[in-house]
Amino acid sequence: MDMNDLVLVSVDDHLVEPPGMFRDHIPAKYRDRAPKVVQRADGTDAWVFEGQEATNVGLNAVAGRPPDEYGAEPTKFSEIREGCYDIDARIRDMNANGVAASMNFPSYPQFCGQYFARAQDRDLGLAVLRAYNDWHVDEWCGAYPGRMIPLGLPPIWDPQLMADEVRRLARKGCHSVSFSENPTKLNYPSLHDPHWDPFWTACSDENTVVNLHIGSSSSVVITSVDAPIDTMITLQPMSIVNAAADLIWSPTLRKFPDLTFALSEGGIGWVPYFLERIDRVYKTHRAWTHQNFGDRLPSEVFLERIALCFIDDEFGVRSRDELNLDMISWECDYPHSDSTWPQAPETLDVYLAGLSDDEIDRITHRNAARLYSFDLFGHNTREQSTVGALRARATDVDLGFRSSERLRKTGTDTVTVLNLVANLPS
């Protein structure tokens, strides 16, 4: 298939929330208490909610910067590309990159709405979280039908409220929710605990995919504070292996046979060995560990129920015969430093050489549309959604590097990154 004929759907991108997002969605009685953007004395921007500051408005939102200016920043909107927080500009950036549709994870609320969960007034926290979800579905995704896959945040502090929100969002056409790869890191019960059963039940009933994004435990993988930042960057995608092991050995997948999980930004190259390992563990140790998959192997359950995605994974694509091609999707990761924007088609095309058109379509868009119950061609035809057609509409988009306002820094401090990712006081 010619690169310009590809239809690309990214199942993992990110947005930076604009300052006025709550204005039209929060109930009037909470309007004065909704999160607000303030400017600190040092000129940086911060979201403030119930007296607590989120330490970074757009963690690693570095699209369009020279590579030597990548880092945990930016810390103010003036340093961020408009496509991060303005939907019109985002669509133009997607067109320039040849991307037909995108699913966007949050920034300042964190991956499972932890920022809202810290509210002392639980009713306020729930109102703010629902306002966030309504803004995301109705405005961010609703502005350009067929271009954005909606993704909801759960009120993680109460499994029944989580279930209610999943059902409410499903009625709005949202069949995707973000959750934690390791909720114990957030001081909640583990993935092995029946505490979450109301949530799992609702997701199963509503065909809602549970997305476990790397870093969604508000922690990063680091060997020591002495290790260079390269260590953390290397290990971060591989940390999803912990969540995969938790899932496969927990009762959840067997107890809820229609429930689907996605390991977001986790890559695929590690999976063949992982499948071999879990089957060996099961065969060797089940007599005393008392695991029971009936007449199936753990690897079979994993391949059937856990969706995977990759940005740039040559070995994983070459190993596709060891995987379930119906559960693999592509991601761009805009606007983070790992992203292939604005050369995603050129980057991906190298790995698609030798694949059939059917295999390519499954990886690039069909699997994503099916998994997330998303009507990709209901508003835009396939011909209008190809790389070539989209780029033809975006020839005036400025793709040149834009240097930031801040002083250049080298040797990013690991402790600073840990604090930013965990949203701890800086």
Q: In sequence order, which residues have a C-beta less than 8 Å from that of residue 66 and are 6 or more positions away?
A: 401, 403
- 419's tokens: 């604090």
Work out the average pLDDT over 316-325.
Answer: 96
Confidence of residue 415 (pLDDT cuts 50, 70, 90): very low
CA 260 from centre of chain: 15
CA distances from 138 to 59, 83, 87, 144, 305 (A): 24, 18, 12, 10, 29
Burial class (CB in 10 A: 0-12, 13-18, 19+), 70: middle
pLDDT digits (tens, 9 = 90+) for 68-112: 777 766 678 988 999 999 999 999 999 999 999 999 999 999 999
Higher local confidence (pLDDT), 61 or 160? 160
User: What gap in Å lies between CA 84 and CA 336, rounded to an integer?
Assistant: 10
pLDDT for the residue numbered 405: 57
Contact 137, 152 (CB under 8 A): yes
CA distances from 36 to 20, 47, 60, 325 (A): 8, 5, 21, 43
Domain covering 3-422 assigned CATH 3.20.20.140 in the classification: yes
Q: How many residues belong to the chain?
A: 426
Contact 365, 100 (CB under 8 A): yes
pLDDT for the residue numbered 412: 46
Confidence of residue 414 (pLDDT cuts 50, 70, 90): very low
pLDDT at residue 26 above 80? yes
Structural domain boundaries of the chain?
A: 3-422
At 56, give phi and psi (nearest 5°). Answer: -155, 125
pLDDT digits (tens, 9 = 90+) for 219-259: 767 778 888 888 888 887 777 999 999 999 999 999 999 99
**CA nearest to 355, candidates 91, 55, 6, 24:** 6
Which stretch of DSSP H or E encloses residue 7? none
pLDDT at residue 423 above 80? no
User: What gap in Å lies between CA 410 and CA 413, rounded to an integer?
Assistant: 9
Residue 120 burial (CB count, 10 A): 8
User: What gap in Å lies between CA 352 and CA 5, rounded to an integer?
Assistant: 13
pLDDT at residue 32 above 60? yes
pLDDT digits (tens, 9 = 90+) for 281-290: 999 999 999 9
pLDDT for the residue numbered 385: 98
3-state secondary structure of 63: coil
